[in-house]
Chains A and B, each alone.
Chain A
Amino acid sequence: MPDKPDRNAIEVVNVSKIFGSGEGQVAALDKVSVSIRENEFFTLLGPSGCGKTTLLRLIAGFDFPTAGGILLYGHDIAPLPPFKRPVNTVFQSYALFPHMTVADNIGFGLEMLGKPKAEIKARVAEMLKLVKMEALAGRRTGQISGGQQQRVALARALAPQPKVLLLDEPLSALDYKLRKEMQIELKRLQHETGITFIFVTHDQEEALTMSDRIAVMSSGKILQVGSPWDIYDKPAERFVADFIGETNFLTAAISGVGNGKARATLKSGTTIEATVAEGFQPKDNATVVVRPEHAKLTKDKGDLSGTVENIVYFGTDTHIHVQLDSGEAFTVRQQNTRSAGCGFERGDKVGIMIGNDAAQVLRD
């Protein structure tokens, strides 16, 4: 992991947001606390309705928290209107002004800040170059493509040099190829400008590839904050493990907790080593997760045994669904080679080997 300065750009402290009142009230955010470091690409990841956009809107100032504080470099900005916060947003719909040219859109923030004309012109030119849109500066926003609009929206939000840039699912309207391009482009922009990015998405792959750190959200709560590696390899909760990537859940009795490791005795009676969070109390009925690519299928006896139920070919790899003798289901992902087949057939009796560092004990 790259070294990041430990200064916090944004601190969200115990923020709750309740919409509506009385019977119909909904808690969109429930006592959320999170710190976002200066200069980092931070992603809020979760399914729709998890509160990630609400949190972003609270930071932007479009909504105000019901309780709690939002600090920007130590100053409480929660009561400030959006136009008094040195924070800019890239909207999901881009929200470009249709009655202005591309250049006017990009210069709007600076104009509103009362910057001198010459400075605005220079900065707009710089931004146009940054997003490679020099040729279309005089166009109306309705006359450019979706991907180009996306670039203009980025340039417009970056032009006033905000302390923090907020991005609300900015890539969701683009097609797959363009989205991949823009992911790289966004990383480049973040690197070049050195601005803290807070990125909202429901796309776990996008989150994993772009972020320095990810906060996984569900039902108005942040479940886990960590690097993409942490989130993927050491999910703390069932929801996180399930939402990100594919995974196998196994019931196990946990003993011998210490030093981040524990002994997990599976239903089959085999004991494997698993990583575990600090302070975990040993118990009989815990859940252990194993990623499909971290297990290996064998014709011999493994840590687990079962019968091949289904084989699904994916091009780069093959998913082999196994019905365990314990009654649980288990999927193994096997890298494909050019030799025909994966070496197994439906109905085969197989064993599953679980590596030494492959299993993670969930908190619940």
Chain B
Amino acid sequence: MATAEEVAKAAERRDVRDRWLLSAPALLVILFAATGPLLIVLVYSFLTPGAYGDVKWQFSSDAWTSVFLERDIFDDTLSLAAAHVTIFWRSIKLAVVTTLATLALGFPTAYFMATRSEKTRDLWLFLITIPFWTNLLIRTFAVLQIIRNEGIVNTILLKLGIVSAPVQILYTDTAILIGMAYVYLPLMVLPIYASMEKLDFRLVEAGYDLYATRFKVLRKIIFPLVKPGVIAGSILVFIPALGAYVTPSVLGGGKNMMLSNLIELQFGQGRNWPLGSALSITVMIIVMVALLAYVRNAGKSGVRHG
């Protein structure tokens, strides 16, 4: 006769086994689709570039050195790789500005949506998600059509006599910003809306009742309560914005290189896969550090729900 303890132990063993069995598919996907490729990238970054792309299986830390430094071709001295630093800085700046721009546009939009009646809310939600139905490239070209010199904006400005010559927006950083803000706006609106929809607007009334002006209510009550949505939205926008490829290529005209273009270059014409790999990992590290700092900072004064 098995004692109660033995039975319990056997049951627990079965339980553990079943748990592994059931989570196996998910673990396999994570291993082969996420961790695996990342490991390959990591390994490649420590190898020597092959003459026609690919890698030679020979250890080298050159790729990592040249992420931020460059070796003089004559005397082998190392100096700061100004081009890379510029590109990193430009990309980070653009990602931050895009995040701020989408936040500035998305927050009022989400507030507007959340304060509509239940029926109209669904309509607004539907309208916000419409852009997702169209390919990113097509949406970007649509923006291009609007802001180019012969586009809608310039035509109207010329007709109204506000400007005498078309304003050059296309192929500038402004164009990239407009495009990115447009493309990533839904990613900001949706999480904020999700938070805002749960907001008890009676709290807003309570705020007004207790002598808080509209601005104070926004700052002291609404914002702290929808902060989780703001954080989620910012993360969802910042990450793809930092690695954006299509929008900067089309609207920036390839004049101002972005991180994504730089990485693509290493795997293409540059034939330097290790450097491309090292750059990719560097971007990942930047994103992770930025996110950790952001979340920790936001959480400090933040809300604990529940």
Contact = CB atoms under 8 A, between A and B. Distances in A.
Interface of A: 60-62, 81-84, 87-89, 91, 93, 95-99, 108-109, 112-113, 140, 142, 156-157, 160
A97 B222 CA distance: 10
Given A112-B211, A160-B210, A140 B304 contact: yes
A109 B305 contact: no
B224 interface: yes
A95 B304 CA distance: 17
Interface string B196-230: 00001011011111111100100011001100000
Contact of A95 (B206, B211, B212): B206
B225 A98 contact: yes
Contacts of A96: 206
Contacts of A62: 205, 208-209
Contacts of A157: 209-210
Contacts of B200: 93, 95
Contacts of A95: 200, 202-203, 205-206
B211 A109 contact: yes
Interface of B: 200, 202-203, 205-213, 216, 220-221, 224-225, 303-306
Contacts of B213: 83, 112
A91 B206 contact: yes
Sort A-B residue pairs by CB-CB distance and give the 8 closest, nearest first.
A109-B210, A95-B206, A112-B211, A82-B208, A95-B202, A99-B303, A112-B212, A99-B224
A89 B225 contact: no
A82 B209 contact: yes
Nearest to A107: B210
Contacts of B221: 97
B216 A112 contact: yes
Contacts of B225: 98-99
B22 to A, nearest CB: 34
A84 B305 CA distance: 31
A92 to B, nearest CB: 9
A113 B216 CA distance: 11
Nearest to A140: B304
B302 to A, nearest CB: 8
Given A99-B303, A112-B216, A140-B304, A93 B208 contact: no
